[in-house]
Chains A and B, each alone.
Chain A
Amino acid sequence: MVPVANYLILSAVLFTIGVLGVLIRRNAIVIFMSIEIMLNAANLAFIALADAKGSLAGQVFVFFVLAVAAAEVAVGLAIIVAISRQQGTIDVDEINLLKW
């Protein structure tokens, strides 16, 4: 049996990788994929704790997280397509219309 702490630490590591992706990369699509990694890390923690606690509520919650992630990807990619059409780039350093 693998201790649940292993899964939780793996989840923390994956979440950090996602955060670093968002902070370091400037390509909007890669930033988006990093957000997916973070969502997956949270899901992994949910499932690990659901298994350790013997409750299936965590699995149901992951189901909703997946649905929200799907909605987020659809809208987010549509925004990226619209920005790329208007600005000709998806480099987040170049997209500064709302910046003071």
Chain B
Amino acid sequence: MEAFFWVVAIPATVSAVGVVMMRDTVYSALLLVVHLLAVAVLFVLLNAQLIAAVQVVVYAGAIMVLFLFVIMMLGLGRGEGVKEKLPLQRPVALLFGGAMAILLGVVMSQTTIQPVAGALTPGDVLAMGGNTQVVGRLLFSDYLLAFEVTSILLLVAIIGAVVLAKRRL
């Protein structure tokens, strides 16, 4: 398991760096697919099979198609110009980004994590019918209100996208 973590974590990090560094937007989008798939594998390693499947279908499938569609439609293959409007933007960004990484890393590695009361082991979840069943049951009982609000949010997003992208209403 330990080795498998690194086999997935390193491509996830490298492809994320690639997304940011690539001059060609299409390459960025394709590297983002690699990144999302790698993170989906990490989800499987963490016993979140449903979320991993949703990640592949919704993110790597639907959202990335949307991205590539817009990139192709606008014809944005070429990179941006070299002209900098803010001269120190890059070094300052790297400085503060590095500071934030160190801060986050220290906090993340220092915290001790206690299991909650009534913690479920992967075996318990399997006995209750499997990850998908248990998460689905939670979604439609304890989190039903949030679930319904999400459906309204998606409706608003559809209407908003149509209104914004339409040339003339």
| A and B associate | yes
Q: Which residues of A are interface residues toward B (Cβ below 8 A)?
A: 1-2, 4-21, 23-27, 29-30, 32-34, 36-37, 40, 43-45, 47-57, 59-60, 62-64, 66-75, 77-82, 84-85, 90-91, 93
- Bound: A15/B97 CA distance, A: 10
Query: Smallest distance from the beta carbon of B139 to chain A beta carbons, Å?
Result: 6
Contact-residue size bin, chain B (C-beta under 8 Å from the other chain): 35 or more
If over half of B's interface residues share one DSSP class (helix, strand or loop), that class is named, otherwise mixed; here it is: helix
- Bound: A45/B101 CA distance, A: 14
Given contacts A8-B109, A12-B105, contact A63 B139 (CB under 8 A): yes
Query: Smallest distance from the beta carbon of A78 to chain B beta carbons, Å?
Result: 4
B134:A47 contact, CB within 8 angstroms: no
- Bound: A79/B54 CA distance, A: 26
Which 7 A-B residue pairs are closest in the complex by CB-CB distance? Answer: A54-B119, A71-B157, A12-B104, A23-B93, A78-B164, A8-B108, A21-B20
